[in-house]
Amino acid sequence: MNKICLMKDGAFYFIKELSTLDEAFCNALGGIISLVANEVIIHVRCIASGIVEGIKISKVYGDKWEKIKDGEYRIKLTQIMSEVSKDFVFELTVPNIPGEVGDIGREHIVCEGILAAKGVTGQQMGGACNLTLALINPHEEIAEINENVDVIENYLRVKATEAIEENMKKA
């Protein structure tokens, strides 16, 4: 079970009753069978230019992130499983942008993410995506935000823990 735990990036099961051991083992084994890729590296960097040039990654959440240099981070994962999502949170510092933006100058690519991995048959896999920031003027309303409730909940939990730890240091 320890070897399986290491293969699943440290996931583990608390077995309260011995009779449920088979369920936990099958679940862990099922995760190994649904492996899509291993030796996964995700590289994130700021590429903002123009009026958004000063945008920086100010904080990453999670202890697996490695800072390459200012505005550039990478994370290594042992594997990616089929139908399992991974969410990563980082904060951006956005400088004051003077003036107003029109419809043409509203959207700006500020970060790029590049994924490299080895498929289960040994082939190299990869992909890339961009984070686009849509600017709004102070008098405009945000139409709709697609929020991931689970990510927001975990983010707020971490922020609350940080606030408690900070206040404990002051006490």
Pair 115, 130: CB distance under 8 Å: no
Q: How does DSSP classify residue 135?
A: P
The structure tokens listed for 8 are 């699943």
Residue 24 lies in a domain: no
Residue 3 lies in a domain: no
pLDDT number for residue 7:
56
Residue-wise pLDDT tens digits, 57-97: 999 988 889 999 988 999 998 888 777 778 888 899 998 88
Residue 7 lies in a domain: no
Give the separation between CA 77 and CA 8, rounded to whole angstroms. Answer: 9
Give the separation between CA 71 and CA 92, rounded to whole angstroms. Answer: 9
Pair 106, 134: CB distance under 8 Å: yes
Domain range for 77: 34-146
Residue 81 lies in a domain: yes
Cα-flanking dihedrals φ and ψ of residue 158, to 5°? -65, -45
Residue-wise pLDDT tens digits, 19-54: 766 666 656 655 555 778 888 999 999 999 988 999
Report whether pLDDT(2) > 70.
no
Three-class SS state of 151: helix
pLDDT number for residue 119:
87
Residue 111 lies in a domain: yes
Residue 40 lies in a domain: yes
pTM for this predicted structure:
0.72
Residue 106 lies in a domain: yes
Give the separation between CA 154 and CA 135, rounded to whole angstroms. Answer: 26
CA angle centred on 108, ends 144 and 133, rounded to 5°: 35
Pair 114, 34: CB distance under 8 Å: no
Query: CA torsion angle for 13, 17, 23, 24 (degrees, to 10)?
Result: 10
What residues contact 124, with CB distance under 8 A and at least 6 apart?
116, 117, 118
Q: How does DSSP classify residue 18?
A: G
CATH of the domain at 113: 2.60.40
Indicate the number of domains in the chain: 1
Write the single-letter amino acid at 117: A
R_g (Cα) of the chain, nearest Å:
20
Residue 5 lies in a domain: no
